[in-house]
Structures are given as structure tokens and as C-alpha cells.
Amino acid sequence: MKNNIENALVSRADRISALIAKVEKPTRYMGGELNMRVKDGDGLVRFALCFPDTYEIGMSHLGSRIVYNVLNNRSDTYAERCYCPWVDMEALLRESGEKLFSLETKRPLDEFDIVGFSLLYEMCYTNILTMLDLGGIPLTSAERGENAPLVIAGGPCVCNPEPVADIIDAFLFGDGEELVSEFTDVYIAARSRGLSRRETLLELSKIDGVYIPSFYKPEYEDGKFARLIKTEPSAPDTVARRIVSDLDAAEFTGDLVVPYMSIVHDRIALELFRGCTRGCRFCQAGFIYRPIRERRMKTLIDYADAQLTRTGHDEISLFSLSSGDYSEIHEMVPTVLDRYTKDRVSVSFPSLRIDSFMKDDLEKMQGVRKTGLTFAPEAGTQRLRDVINKGVCEEDLLRTVKDAFTAGWHGVKLYFMIGLPSETDDDILGIAELARNVSREFYSLPKDMRGKGLRCTVSASTFVPKPFTPFQWENQISVEEVLRRQALLRGALKGIRGVEFNCHFSETSRLEACFARGDRRLGEVMLRAYEHGTRFDSWDEHFKKEAWDEAFSECGLSVDQFAGRVIGLDEPLAWDHMDALVTKDYLKREYESALAAVVTGDCREKCNGCFGKRCKTHCRMHYAQEGEV
């Protein structure tokens, strides 16, 4: 008998290996990378960490790496990775009848106890279906029997879980470092007591931050979401987001798995802090990761030292929502540069805000490869920047790019959004004006003081209203209008020396807006769209508009009713049961300030009361201002 099983395993590994041999990028599925966790033993909880996109994108996600480490540091759990197979592997799996497998042990997905997805982007939702389907797991919670894995999800999209509520058995809301481990504890306890699937979910629903969608039923009136009714009396009325209060002491990534292939973010990421105090009104991350919590510089340097040795990476990135706000940034930048550049480790500083970027720091970067600078003014005029609370002015930007040009940079990326609330054609033309001024700054420098040619890339994405932002009630402008404004901008940018224009395809942004603020009815739409062949919707070459249109019309719904609708301030929201800690009152106040183009200050200077009564218990910034720390 044992021999038979071993033979079966060997031959399965061989069969998988034969499939891997046939795909374009075998290292996506191979596993076995340096620092991959290897565990052996019976009785381990088998946890599949699934990322609904390709390996090279999923492996670049810091949160998944943290959870991989947290779970694998437990002696009772083995967390393995699984990524969405590319279309070539999907075809091979279907043809051969093999199930989607984990990288670590090549175990089929349906043999795991818990299958957890990271939800980072709405356009990855159909990839969840691909993975469940290929993994031999029924697509909806309702269809899953006692022996099916628990399908769970975490990540920022959980703040409006409703569009995928039919598919996911349990959502984990907020920071995962502690929550995922508590979840596993309760799961193990329930399993050892022999509880049924439903009883297990009931136990799990008692954990703060866990949402079990099958315990609630939505109701609709006049084609709109009306309310969520509890079908399980003991389920909580609202689910509050979990936060790790001491980030510095929290578990981090451990030794990073070193990929063979080149991945999107192929470097050591130092998460300086979580949360952001700026309050840009379009930015979901700026609200749903509050409050700001920092890691100490020493902790980060120790981590970087260890990881450079353990991985052999030659690049470090200082990572956060607004790195210039890090309280030790002016010690951190020179320390990191002095310490590492002599060993030819390059250091990158994404998300440095214009106003915090200092000339001294720029000069310190002289010896480092000039990989290009990125700035995000987001809007073309001061009025609109005030509306969105992006407290950046043109003079700051121009001064900083001038400093950067003098220090040797000649590549600058400028990020903008089209379709922000209250945007007019003047605001669009303002983007071109700003780009013209950047170009002028470059070419007005004497030739010996600047690089050869300017490469200024203007990127314009489409504004997507997101839950838990002050713009959650706003609509997205129509596709036609997006295209008109893009054309207007393209025309206005024409002929500006050294400036290139880039803009994102707008159909996917439309669907993103639909799913971001959608309700549970979208679950059926998704299932149908999947049947009609939607795959990798975030990849333009795979996006199938007709399949989505057909799915929506079959369900009697439309993209526009979700993406294109202004929601009344007093209407119920499909995500009202999710408590992101930032209060609805605060978001309403911010919305009204936006419409009046009134700026709200940085909350490190003065508490704006975004958590309401919970500011006192949940935010250190609040303590600090009260003089308690």
C-alpha cells in the first residue's frame, strides 16, 4: 500500500514536471527557490497562500511574504505558495486533468485545509475563480462540502468584500500579522473538536476582524442595495479592521524567498511605516492603513543587513505610502547610502513626496545609479489639488525637479489622474502646463549642469472612487468622457520638449470602479463572465469586454449602475458593515471640505478625529498630541 502511494506521488511529481517543461516560463511553477520553507510531518495544517496573479507579481507582494513567514514560523502549520497559472499552464492543466498545485510540495489545491487569497486589486477577482476551478474546489461557498478547504481572503479589497462574498468563506480584515495566526489557532481548535464546517465558521466569526459572509443576506430595493440582514444571530453587526499596534515588534518577512526568474519588485523592501497622515482624498490606502505606525531605523537596518547576506539581492527599496514622512528619514537616507552603496547595493526611494524631498538627500544619492524620479502631483491645478487634499504646490515640484536635474537626473515621471471630482478642462490643460514648466526647468539649466536629454513621462490614470475614502459617494466619469479628456491632454502635451504621454486603458478602470463599490449581486456576474472566458482582466491583452457585457446583461445589471452612479450621502452603502476604523462622519466631513476645495492638515500636526471616539485608544498620534507619550 505504502509503495502504491509513493508511486502515485512520484508519478504525480513527474507528471507536473512534464507540464512545467512545456510552458513559456517554467520557473513560475517550479518552486525550490532559496529560502523556500520546507516542512515535513503529519498533522500539519496545510495552508495554501494563493495570489490571484502571476508569480512575478505575487512574489513582489510584501504582505504575502509576511504571512508566509508568520504561518511557517508556527510548528503546526505549513504555508505553501500558489499563483495564478498563465494561460499556457491553464491549457496544459485542463488538457492533462492535473489540478493546480502549490510550489512547495506540488500538492493539489483541494488537498489543503485552508486556501487563502490576497485581494489587492479588483481586476484579479476572476483569477480567483480560475485558481479554484483548476484546483478542484467548488467556486461558491454554498457548493462546498464538509471536506472542501476553507476558502479565505485578506488584503485591502476586503474593505468591500461583497462582490466576492459568494466565493469566499471567511474574510480577514486588516493587518494580517496577528490575525492570520489567531485564525489558525481557532481553526485548529475547531478541527480537534471535530466541529462541522458551519460550526467552525461560527467559531471563526468570534475573532475580531473576521467576516463570514454566509451569515448575512443582502436585500435590494429599486435596483439598489438596501440592507444586510443577519441570518446567524450570533454574528457581529459590524466587523472592525484589525491593526498591529506595535509594527516595530511585529513579525516581518523572515528570510526572503529568492526567485530564479526576474520578478516585478526584485529587491529587499524596507517597510518604514504603515499608514499615512496626509489624507489625500482619493487614496484608499491613505485611509484603510491608518493610524501611522513606524518601524525603528535600527530594526530596519538590522533586517537589511541580514537579508543582504541571506538573499544576495543588490537592491533595497525604502517602502511606505509617503517615505519622506518617516520621522528618521534624514538619518535613514545617508545611513543606508553610506552603509550599502560601497557594496554596490542600489537604493530606491519610491513614494517620496515632493515637499519632503530634500536637496541634501539628493546630493547624497550622487554616487547611486540614477534610476529615475517619480512624482505624483495627481492634478494639474492648485484648485483641484486642494479638492483632493494633495498639499503639493507647483513651486515645490519645480524646485525639486530642478535640484534633481542639477544632481544629474534626467528622467522624471509625473503621475496624474483624470476624472477627479469637479475636474474641468482647465484642470486637464493645467497638467500640460506643469509638464511644460518641468521641461523648461531642465532646458534652462546650462548644458554642463544637466544631463543630455530630458525624459519626462506624464502618466494619467483614470480616477476610481473607492470605499472608505471621502470620494466613495462620487461616480466615475463615462468611458467616452475619459477618452475625450485623454485626447485633450495628449493634444496639449504635443510638442513639449522631452515629454512623453502614457495613459491607462479606461475599460478596466471602469470595471475596477464597478467592483470597488459593488455589492453581492456582482458575484453572479463574475461567475458568468468567468464562464464566458474572462482571464487576467488586468492585462489589457486578455481583457474581454464582450464577455463582461454579456455577463452583466444576463444578470440584468450594468457596469454603469455601480461605476457611474453618485450615491446619496444618506443611502446605505454595501460596505457599511465593514468598520475600517475611520468613521463615516469623518469621511462625510472630508467630502464636504473637498467640494469646497478646503484643505485638511496633516494629522501629525493636529488630530482631525478620523477615528471618532476611538482616536484615543487606536492612534498613537493622538496620544502624542495629548502629551501622553
Partner 1 sequence: MRVVASFSKLDEVRFVSHLDMQRLFQRAFRRAGLPLAYSQGFNPHPLLSFATALSVGYTSDCEYFDITLSEPIPTDGFVSRVNAVLPVGVMITDAVDAGGFKGSLTPLMRSADYSVKMRFERDLSSRELHNAAEALLGGDIFVDKKTKGGIKSVDIRPMLISLSVSEADGNSAKLDISGKLTAEGGLPLELLFGALYEKLGVNAETRVHRKRIEMDWTVLK
Q: Please return the burial class of 459, using the count of CB atoms within 10 Å of its CB with bins 0-12, 13-18 and 19+.
A: middle
Q: Which stretch binds partner 1 (CB under 8 A): 26-34, 210-218, 322-330, 463-471?
A: 26-34
Shortest approach of partner 1 to residue 345 CB, angstroms? Answer: 9
Cβ of residue 97: shortest distance to partner 1, in angstroms?
18
* Interacting residue with partner 1 among 230, 369, 497, 606 (CB under 8 A): 369
Is there a contact between 458 and 493 (Cβ–Cβ < 8 Å)?
Answer: yes
Can you tell me the distance from the alpha carbon of 313 to that of 297, in angstroms, rounded to the nearest whole number? 20
Stretch that binds partner 1, among 2-10, 221-229, 307-315, 451-459 (CB under 8 A): 307-315
The three grid cell numbers given for residue 395, joined into one nine-digit string: 513651486
Distance CA 327, CA 234 (A): 43
Looking only at residues 327 through 366 of this chain, which bind partner 1 when binding is defined by CB under 8 A? Answer: 344
Phi, psi of 529 (to 5 degrees): -60, -40
Q: How many CB atoms lie within 10 A of CB 196?
A: 10
Determine, following the binding rule CB under 8 A, whether residue 32 of this chain makes contact with partner 1.
Answer: yes
Minimum distance of partner 1 from residue 15's CB (angstroms):
12
> Judged by CB under 8 A, which stretch of 232-240, 241-249, 254-262, 516-524 contacts partner 1?
254-262
Between 260 and 539, CB nearer to partner 1: 260
Q: Does 261 bind partner 1 (CB under 8 A)?
A: yes
Nearer Cβ to partner 1 (258/483): 258
Q: Which stretch binds partner 1 (CB under 8 A): 187-195, 260-268, 527-535, 589-597?
A: 260-268
Pick the stretch among 21-29, 47-55, 130-138, 386-394 that binds partner 1 (CB under 8 A): 21-29
In which element (H, E) is residue 553 found?
helix 545-554
> Any alpha helices (H) in 352-478, and if so which ranges?
359-364, 382-387, 394-406, 425-443
**Of the residues 185, 255, 314, 433, which one makes contact with partner 1 according to CB under 8 A:** 314
| Number of chain positions touching partner 1 (CB under 8 A) | 22
- Quickly count: other Cβ atoms within 10 Å of residue 574's Cβ: 27
For Cα atoms 91, 92, 94, give the angle at the middle one, nearest 5 degrees: 65
> Closest separation between CB of residue 260 and partner 1, Å?
5
Specify the residue, 269 or 384, whose C-beta has the smaller distance to partner 1: 269
Is 258 one of the binding residues for partner 1 (CB under 8 A)? yes
**Residue of 8, 9, 34, 595 interacting with partner 1 (CB under 8 A):** 34
Q: Per CB under 8 A, does 10 bind partner 1?
A: no
CA distance 524 to 422: 33
Q: How far apart are CA 218 and CA 328, in angstroms?
A: 47
Smallest distance from partner 1 to CB 31, Å:
9
Check residue 88 for interaction with partner 1 (CB under 8 A).
Answer: no
In a 3-state reduction of DSSP, which class is residue 164?
Answer: helix
Tell me whether residue 195 or residue 258 sits nearer to partner 1 (CB atom).
258
465 preceded by a cis bond (ω within 30 of 0): no
Piece of the chain touching partner 1 by CB under 8 A; list 16-24, 79-87, 245-253, 433-441: 16-24
Which distant-in-sequence residues (6+ apart) come within 8 Å of 627 by Cβ? none
Peptide bond preceding 291 in cis form (omega within 30 of 0): yes
Cell of 626: 495629548
- Dist. CA 34–CA 310, nearest whole Å: 9
Q: Does 92 bind partner 1 (CB under 8 A)?
A: no
Instruction: Check binding of 310 to partner 1 (CB under 8 A).
Output: yes
> Closest distance between partner 1 and the C-beta of residue 411, in Å?
13
For residues 66 and 118, the answer to whether their CB atoms sit within 8 Å is no
Query: Which window, 132-140, 185-193, 312-320, 583-591, contacts partner 1 (CB under 8 A)?
Result: 312-320
Query: Does 596 help bind partner 1 (rule: CB under 8 A)?
Result: no
User: Of the two residues 314 and 549, which places its CB atom closer to partner 1 in the complex?
Assistant: 314
Residue 278 DSSP symbol: S
| Residue 306 touching partner 1 (CB under 8 A) | no
Per rule CB under 8 A, is residue 374 in the interface with partner 1? Answer: no
Q: Apex CA 496: angle with CA 492 and CA 497, to 5°?
A: 165
Which residues does residue 150 pair with via DSSP β-bridges, in sequence order?
114
68-78 burial, b if ≥16 CB within 10 A, otherwise e?
bbbbbebeebb
Q: How far is the CB of 30 from partner 1 (least distance, A)?
A: 5
313 touches partner 1 by CB under 8 A = yes
| 3-state SS class at 227 | strand
Separation between Cα atoms, residue 497 and residue 456, nearest integer Å:
9
| 608 belongs to the binding site for partner 1 (CB under 8 A) | no
**255 interacts with partner 1 by CB under 8 A:** no
Assess 260 for contact with partner 1 (CB under 8 A): yes
Q: Is 76 helix (H, G, I), strand (E, B) or coil?
A: coil
Contacts of residue 105, Cβ cutoff 8 Å, sequence gap at least 6: 80
Residue type, 236: P
Report if residue 30 touches partner 1, rule: CB under 8 A: yes
Q: Which is nearer to partner 1, 23 or 297 (CB)?
A: 23
Contact pick of 262, 446, 448, 541 for partner 1 (by CB under 8 A): 262
Nearer to partner 1, 16 or 529 (CB): 16
* Residues engaged in binding partner 1 (CB under 8 A): 18, 20-21, 26-27, 30, 32-34, 258, 260-262, 308-314, 344, 369
